[in-house]
Chains A and B, each alone.
Chain A
């Protein structure tokens, strides 16, 4: 048993309101620099949708992540042989048009234009060329547009859904969508680290944050190809690749990362989990059916004396073990089994988990609503279709089976296609709601509540705990950040005054392209 600590995250999608505050917080702190304008280390996508960069989930296009071959795994689009073959031209690299061309407006024209007959306008200019452009795309261009053929219907997760199911998702007035905030997953088996020819990317020992050493990076951009989540970005100005750093300077100081700190919906949870590094290879190369189970099996019980013993032997600090015991992530992922990894089939063992949205609580019933038509004026427009939303919980799980998002779609996102896993999570979420409704409103008979809890495998205390951590959790309960132990980390011994007063990343040696 090789016990290590990993700072892990849970995003509760039912709570996300799609306000993009996280993206803006991240951009303001980290990527408001030349060459980084197009990067969104944190972005929020509308699902169904194609995301950012467009169709990032389609690995037939971008060749990211790992694929299983002969019982083991290999990088899909990078690695030694493929890297050498594509050394001068990497065909799977996303181009700027796959993201979007960053732009600003010439605001100064509004106040500095000479007097004329026409109102001055602020023309959009490219942040890359500086010339006027037509804005063609933005990082969340498909925001809230889950019904458009350009975006929502191109969603790679619609694979394996029947045409009827797909059509049902996009029916007018029945259309539904949810938000998927994404940051770097700080994977346990990161493809970006494996692909880097320069060895510039590493996973930090003390907390598992994946970082790119800006002084070692040689602009091969293999990480951009290899990361299946497309969360490594190439800075064309500095000639280095960059990615989410999980705000490690904030974490070291005991603050939550900027995106989590600013989250309006309080959907984000952060904490330490202990895992067994010996199991990484086995978990990453397991069969698709067992991927999620094997990944979750790697996470260890921080209360188990043997685990604690092994962790101590491995140099994990006592304070970190204590943080792991209070970790909200461990509760959501392991204790309650409510959170699942995003696209486990990429085999990178992502350490960012999502509580899938139960959002379409209002399921549709397929019955003709003729009574309403009788009541209405004969000339009134009336749809006698089955678009009747039913909020009753008469049939406890019927609503989940007939959800507006087919279970298959959710399973494609969070469980490598295994519907049972998603269903189990949704059942638990539903049971907690039924339980709380029984407590607060009291219009659900106790037998029904009990039946729901039994079928979901929960007891009243657990449901109450889930409810509290979901709805009432305070800052310190959502973010359990282990102390940074500055005295042990050599890189922290550098004098911070060197960069104090300067903005953002900063470089001690200014990176330049070419010789």
Chain B
């Protein structure tokens, strides 16, 4: 189950937060950070998605424009480069950012300008080094909504599956987060929590950001939940359940047919009617 597909079922076009009237390098930087920076870096190593340093040189601009507009459309159309990328990154879907060509060009310009600036990736430092079980428990409570987020953001369980070991995975509005840690890594999950890239989640947490300690607790909980979920996924429910279900149904049928043996189950004229010849089809 290393496949992790971020399925964005509702692609809503967010009201463009960064006004299109603004220009300049600070705007380009902000635009990159808000639209790309959670998953991508420029010259600081790969996160959820690839390091974008020198991307302008690797791909033609036309290809990049198309890909950034809708990566999935390209994957589905069978573009070999796009498919290769998709496969390389665990089939993680890159959400469509919903920005205009000029904005994409601004971002590409920004990437081009900064590609040579930094020297190599800086290692990400885990914030969970000293996280204890209390932290995990706090995270679980935040996740399940037992404790509300300080800034009034909705608790995770409002949209995501419960992770506390239910036998069946219930249907949920958004992605099952069970294996999020092993797929995205701490850095990726942290990025999403701090600055949600997904339209619905971004809208939900607009002006209600998580506090750093809340993020930390959630990360701790998700990290701890990850192996449990993997183990749970390995168990195939079904065969035993089916058997017990059938046995139960059979015994109920037996009990009630014994209990209602003398019940009137059909018309008293049944025998007479049965012999009569039907002419209506």
Contacts and interface: CB of A to CB of B under 8 A. Distances in A.
A136 B268 contact: no
Contact of A133 (B262, B263, B271, B280): B280
Interface string A130-158: 00111011000000000000100000000
Contacts of B278: 134
Contacts of B280: 132-134
A60 B262 CA distance: 9
Contacts of B58: none
Interface residues of B, number: 15
A97 B276 contact: no
A248 to B, nearest CB: 32
Contact of A136 (B260, B262, B276): B276
A62 B278 CA distance: 28
B264 interface: yes
Interface in A47-64: 50, 53-55, 58, 60-62
Given A133-B280, A134-B278, A137-B273, A61 B260 contact: no
A91 B260 contact: yes
B76 interface: no
Contacts of A136: 269, 272-273, 276
Contact of A61 (B268, B271, B276): B268
B270 interface: yes
Contact of A54 (B260, B269, B276): B269
Interface in A34-86: 50, 53-55, 58, 60-62
A62 B267 CA distance: 11
A143 to B, nearest CB: 15
B22 interface: no
B273 A92 contact: no
B269 A97 contact: yes
A92 B266 CA distance: 10
A335 to B, nearest CB: 40
A150 B272 contact: yes
A379 to B, nearest CB: 39
Nearest to A142: B272
A60 B268 CA distance: 12
B279 interface: yes
A55 B269 CA distance: 9
B205 to A, nearest CB: 44
A58 B36 CA distance: 83
Nearest to B267: A97
Nearest to A54: B268
Nearest to B265: A91
Nearest to A93: B264
Nearest to B279: A134
B276 A98 contact: no
Nearest to B278: A134
Contacts of B276: 134, 136
A354 to B, nearest CB: 24
A91 B279 contact: no
Interface in B225-281: 260, 262-264, 267-273, 276, 278-280
A95 interface: yes
A285 to B, nearest CB: 26
Most buried by A among B267, B268, B273: B268
Contacts of B262: 60
Interface in A94-111: 95, 97-98
B279 A98 contact: no
A132 B278 CA distance: 12
Contacts of A54: 268-269
Contact of A55 (B260, B268, B273, B279): B268
Contact of B269 (A62, A98, A132): A98
A159 B268 CA distance: 18
Most buried by A among B269, B270, B276: B269
A50 B272 CA distance: 12
B273 A97 contact: yes
Contacts of A50: 268
B20 to A, nearest CB: 55
A111 B268 CA distance: 38
A95 B272 contact: no
10 contacts: A58-B268, A61-B264, A62-B264, A92-B264, A97-B269, A98-B269, A133-B280, A134-B276, A134-B279, A150-B271
Interface of B: 260, 262-264, 267-273, 276, 278-280
Given A92-B264, A97-B270, 15 more contacts: A54-B268, A54-B269, A55-B268, A61-B264, A91-B263, A91-B264, A97-B269, A98-B268, A133-B280, A134-B280, A136-B269, A136-B272, A137-B269, A137-B273, A150-B271
The 9 closest A-B pairs by CB, nearest first: A97-B267, A54-B268, A91-B263, A55-B268, A98-B267, A54-B269, A136-B273, A150-B272, A98-B268
